[in-house]
Amino acid sequence: MFIRFVKAVILVVFALLYRVKITGMENIPEEGAAVMCANHVGELDMLFIGCKIKRLIHYMAKIELFKIPLLSPIIKRLGAFPVKRGKADIEAIKTALSLLENGHIVGIFPEGTRVGNNTQKKARVKPGAALLAQKTGAPILPVAVEGKYTPFSKIRVIFGEPFTIDLDKNKKYTNSELVKVSENIMNKIYSLLEAK
């Protein structure tokens, strides 16, 4: 009930303030695990991505957000869980793996930071997306977001077709090998923006 109410409020606000176009929703799995990976335009990305989706996306969110008294209980109820940026957060990885093993969608921004509408992929990509997909065998759901979050501007959200990555579940890959896979994931995400 709470989640439906929040989504309804978000849809009303977005309808008043933005021109949002969402395509490819048929690519969202109706059930089962998925690692949803997206580029990171701004702080509203997760709201634009999730506002019309029936399923709950469990986002990795920077731990600082959970220290804000009014915001923390809301984002927790919306499925977010904390991650410490700048180092390997074992607890966050364990939470994400558990969610995936139980058939949920986990949302992650492989770039780890907001890069705006930059399509040159200048941000260093993190290995987490590849690691989660490798350990669980869950498909990657690529999502591209484009637009400036100024009032009355146009926002595009594009859901691409899910795909799996060919990594051995039991092999221990190096950090650089996983980063390379995550970079390929980001390339697929940015390619969604090129198809007008």
User: What digits encode the pLDDT tens for the residues 14-41?
Assistant: 777 888 899 999 999 999 999 999 998 8
Q: What is the end-to-end Cα distance of the chain in Å, rounded?
A: 36
- For the chain, how many structural domains are there in total? 1
Q: Is the pTM here over 0.85, yes or no?
A: yes
Please say whether the beta carbons of 165 and 139 come within 8 A: no
Q: What is the pLDDT of residue 107?
A: 95
Domain that holds residue 52: 2-194
CATH code, domain with 146: 3.40.1130.10
Average pLDDT, whole number, for the chain? Answer: 87
> Who has greater pLDDT, 12 or 108?
108
Q: How far apart are CA 28 and CA 82, in angstroms?
A: 24
